[in-house]
Amino acid sequence: MKVGKKYAESVKSYDHSKSYDVNEAVALTLNTAKANFDETIELHIRLGVDPRQADQQVRGVLVLPNGIGKTKKVLVIAKGDKADAATAAGADYVGAEETIQRIQRENWFDFDVMITTPDMMGVVGRIGRILGPKGLMPNPKSGTVTMDVAKAVKEVKAGKVEYRLDKTAIIHCPIGKKSFGAEKITENFNALMEAVVKAKPAAAKGQYIKSVTLSSTMGPGVKVNYNKG
């Protein structure tokens, strides 16, 4: 596989067989983010659980201490005073049946997160097959089906992230931008790792945290020595 010059230079700049402590790993990851844009720093956590088992799922949400460096566009499906509250809280779009129809008709997806009230889930469910594969289906576990839509909007705008296992038992999650610098990235790293450790299922046996890797959008992965789980 042919790789770019900057990537090749980054690969040679550290020992890939070694796991680094958190501060070193963050510094290396920032140093290897050489693209001409503000790269996203991503955390990848391999867990010792079986994602096929319902009692071994790992999923949750948290507001990172320093956000993620991206202001997400929020669509709220609600009516009446809940719609008004969503608008006041800073939602980018607020609608009801007509917005669901627009998504169906026009394939409109100019939003990153959909939040709705429980009473509107029947309406939202009509396009579940469209929203699901895009990761946009509201879910009570992620705080996107709620009566307190104002709070949900503010949390998303503040940098709330959702973490969840993929089919290979890995969690992939952004924890900020290169421009954040080492201190803020480290704070976000620690907050997410603590949340994942606390979310350990009772049914999980053996080693829970199998491996932890940091990377930037265009950079190579850096192994992190993390043994608190």
Instruction: State phi, psi for 71 to the nearest 5 degrees.
Output: -90, 115
Q: How far apart are CA 187 and CA 65, in angstroms?
A: 7
Using only C-alpha atoms, what is the Rg of the chain?
19
Q: Is the pLDDT of residue 23 over 90?
A: yes
- What is the pLDDT, as a whole number, of residue 10? 54
Residue 68 contacts residue 217 (beta carbons within 8 Å)? no
Q: Quote the pLDDT of residue 14.
A: 66
Specify the pLDDT at position 7: 57
- pLDDT at res. 98: 96
What pLDDT score was predicted for residue 76?
98
| Three-state SS at 65 | coil
Are the beta carbons of 178 and 38 closer than 8 angstroms?
yes
Tell me the β-bridge partners of 190: none
Q: What are the CB-based long-range contacts (under 8 Å, 24+) for 16-19?
A: 16/220, 16/223, 18/223, 19/223, 19/224, 19/225
User: By mean pLDDT, which of 13-22, 114-123, 161-170, 207-216 is the weakest?
Assistant: 13-22
Q: Above pLDDT 70, what percent of the chain? A: 93
pLDDT band at 116; cut points 50, 70, 90: very high
What are the start-end ranges of the E strands in 83-208?
A: 93-95, 113-116, 160-164, 170-177
152's enclosing H/E stretch is: helix 149-158
How long is the chain?
A: 229
- Express each pLDDT in 167-218 by its tens digit: 999 999 999 999 999 999 999 999 999 999 999 999 998 999 999 999 999 9
The tokens for 2 are 């042919």
Q: Please, what is the angle between helix 182-198 and helix 22-31, to 10°?
A: 130
Quick check: 170 and 49 in contact, CB under 8 A? no
- Residue 13 in this model has a pLDDT that exceeds 90: no
Calculate mean pLDDT across residues 27-42.
Answer: 94
Indicate the pLDDT class of residue 71, thresholds 50, 70 and 90: confident
Residue 220 is classified by DSSP as P
